[in-house]
Structures are given as structure tokens and as C-alpha cells.
Amino acid sequence: MIKIEEKDQHVVKVFEGVVRRTLACGKDVLMAKFEYNKGSYVPPHTHSYEQVTTVLKGEQKIIIKSEEKQETIVLTEGESCIIPPNHEHEQFNLEDSVTIDAWSLTP
């Protein structure tokens, strides 16, 4: 077991109004805490791995696209979503928000 103290968690500004703190990163999974300012935006992107997001505070609109359809969901405090691998997604932060996100790093 490896303990990761808060002082050792890597913090980076990802986009304007979006800060990511890497809570833990193992061989197969990464978990991060995100802080979003109201009105901040995460542009469309994809990744080859599954993503799980849980909103601890705030409200977010997430648009997920596949070849067959586009789905728009709004998440509020306590709600979660799963974004499948290789699905384009973007995010609008409707309020100041905090999330915990986890990614499976293996395809």
C-alpha cells in the first residue's frame, strides 16, 4: 500500500477556471479532484479509457457523443455519470463545482 499525502498531490490548471488535483495514480487507475469556476468550459475531447465522474458540489452540463447519438445530461451534487471509452464529451460548468473523477488507464 502506498500513502499519498496532500502535499504530494500534483495540482495543475487544466483550462481557464479548471484546476485538477491528482489524488492518486496507480498502474491501472487514476483518481483526481477537479475544481471548476462557474462558466468554465472543458472543450470536446476523447480518450481510450472509461471515465467515472461524481459531483460533490455544484452543477454541470455534460454532452456525450457517439457515432449513433448525442446525449446531454445535467449533474448536480451527489450524482454521477460514466463516460464510455472513445466517446467525445464536453462540459459546461453551470455553478462553481467540485468533482471526483476516476479513469481506468488500461484499455
Ranges in the chain, pLDDT < 70: 1, 107
**CATH numbers and ranges of domains, the chain:** 10-104 (2.60.120.10)
* Digit-coded pLDDT (tens) for 9-34: 999 999 999 999 999 999 899 999 99
C-alpha–C-alpha distance, residues 25 and 4, integer Å: 10
Residue-level pLDDT at 1: 65
71 close to 24: Cβ distance less than 8 angstroms? no
